[in-house]
A and B are shown apart, each in its own frame.
Chain A
Amino acid sequence: MSKRRPYVRSMDGWWRKNPFYVEYMIHECTALFVAAYAFVLLVGLVRLGQGEAAWNGWLDALRSPVSVAFHVVFLAVIAYHTYTWFVIMPITLPPIIIGGKTVGPGVITGGGLLAAVVVSLVMLALVWRIV
């Protein structure tokens, strides 16, 4: 009879065992804040559909200190999502070869972050012109 009795270790709390995993879990949790913000926008859209009074009610709600505080948190957390999204990007893309050389991970991450900055500035400029 075989004396084998392989022992399978529990995975409970695996993500606490290594700083790399802790960071992974933190950047995964940014999704909760992205979802929360999207729900705020969805409520805004529904209120827009209900007419001017409803829309103005939503705008008033956004002016409350609690709402502003929440949005400051959203901004910080979603900016962290942006950062981690582009840090991961080099492992998700096939090699990009320019002039016979493979583009390094730093360039890909930097390019992504630069794109986010450009998009932000363009968006702000557009909102300005709307007025």
Chain B
Amino acid sequence: MMKAGLKRSNAPIFWGLFGAGGMLSALFGPVLVFITGIAVPLGLLLPKGAMSYPKMQAFAQNFIGKSFIFAVIALFLWFAAHRIFHSLHEIGIHAGLGAKLICYGSAFASTVIAAYVLLVLGF
């Protein structure tokens, strides 16, 4: 006998974004941190001009580059938002709507900002 009054969970949306972001950050996270945060700033290993303005502008105007930047920023944040929201619940902070708004809200806002800037940068 099935239980009565079951409510369908909307988790698949957030779980899907979490899974995609988790996979993307597992595959690309370390190398991206190394390139943008260590190698290029210190001029280690990689060519000095690798992240010069013209190069990055061209990258952000290229359809593949644009999609990549968008996917990295948005999905990393949706992944993190989901995990942090769950961790807050796990350590006993059941802030409910407040925590939800801060976690998913900042991921959503960042997604919108990233999309806007990428559109304004043109094709």
Contacts and interface: CB of A to CB of B under 8 A. Distances in A.
- Contact between chain A and chain B defined by CB under 8 Å: yes
Interface residues of B, number: 54
A32 B84 contact: yes
A37 B33 contact: yes
Chain B contact residues: helix, strand, loop or mixed: helix
Nearest to A44: B36
Interface residues of A, number: 51
B23 A85 contact: yes
Given A41-B73, A45-B114, A81 B26 contact: yes
B42 interface: yes
Chain A contact residues: helix, strand, loop or mixed: helix
A125 to B, nearest CB: 11
Interface string A56-94: 100100110001101110110011011001100000000
A82 B37 CA distance: 18
Contacts of A127: 35, 46-47, 50
21 contacts: A11-B92, A15-B91, A25-B91, A31-B83, A32-B84, A38-B110, A39-B77, A40-B37, A59-B51, A62-B36, A62-B41, A72-B38, A74-B33, A81-B26, A82-B26, A82-B30, A85-B23, A120-B34, A123-B31, A128-B46, A128-B47
